[in-house]
Amino acid sequence: MRPFRLPDAHLPSIADGWTCRACSAPWPCPTAADYLTQNQCHCGAPSYWEKNGPRNWHVGPSCYTAADVVRQQAADLRTYRDAYPRYPPSHYYPKKPRRPKWPQPAYQHTPAGPGDIQPGTWTWVEPGGLYPGWGDIHHLAMVTRPGLPKSEVWLILDGTVHDVRADHLILSGQPRKAPADWWQWTAAQHLEQQPQPDRQTEDRTAEQLDLFPGLQPV
């Protein structure tokens, strides 16, 4: 019966110049070749991969050193870290700058369709949307002034008000049963759906005063 894996007797003897241990023919001998897939290394040397196992052979002098391997691993790791940046643990965060705290706005709004973002919509601010002092977690916030590219939100955590890029805001409070796909959109995607009146040219100060009528920072 034909063995499942390459028989050890037909492994190469490298000291004898890559000859078969059993046949003394140049390796791979016909018996060994049955079990191997041939490839070519980037250095031009042939390489052989076992069909039914993990072993592989690089015929010819080694084309890289241990230092090359370490360098390549470091480069791979750097690529990965750049693609998936991690934030340091929270005690490394800078201090929060002083900001006035505001009471919770009185209005409430639940989106009823795509593009329906009004003041009072509850959202989550994704990590990276706020100054690093507020950490790298999602923060529950209420939109107080929808806008592009930045919307103004009120944080439930400490009552501070922030200008956040709308693509860092995702809707909160989606229905458990059969939510529409627009619940997954960012606020920026919603706002782009809205007709474009003079949204960007509005006088910001006036609107902000209007949102907190008769209220002062506490």
Contact between 23 and Zn ion per CB under 5 A: yes
33-42, long-range: CB < 8 A, 24+ apart: 35/5, 35/6, 36/6
- The residue range among 26-34, 73-81, 102-110, 113-121 that interacts with Zn ion, by the rule CB under 5 A, is 26-34
Contact between 22 and Zn ion per CB under 5 A: yes
Contact between 43 and Zn ion per CB under 5 A: yes
Contact between 33 and Zn ion per CB under 5 A: no
Number of residues that bind Zn ion (CB under 5 A): 10
Nearer to Zn ion, 64 or 87 (CB): 64
Pick from 63, 74, 180, 215: which binds Zn ion (CB under 5 A)? 63
- Give min distance, CB of 70 to Zn ion, in A: 17
DSSP 75-103: HHHHHHHHHS--PPPGGGSPPPPP--B-P
Contact between 209 and Zn ion per CB under 5 A: no
24: phi then psi, degrees, rounded to nearest 5: 60, 10
d(CA 88, CA 71): 25
Q: Which helix (H) or strand (E) holds 33?
A: helix 30-33
Using DSSP bridges, classify how beta strands 122-125 and 139-145 pair: parallel, antiparallel or unpaired. antiparallel
Residues linked to residue 171 through DSSP beta bridges, in sequence order = 123
Contact between 148 and Zn ion per CB under 5 A: no
User: What is the binding site for Zn ion (CB under 5 A)?
Assistant: 10, 20, 22-23, 29, 31, 41, 43, 45, 63
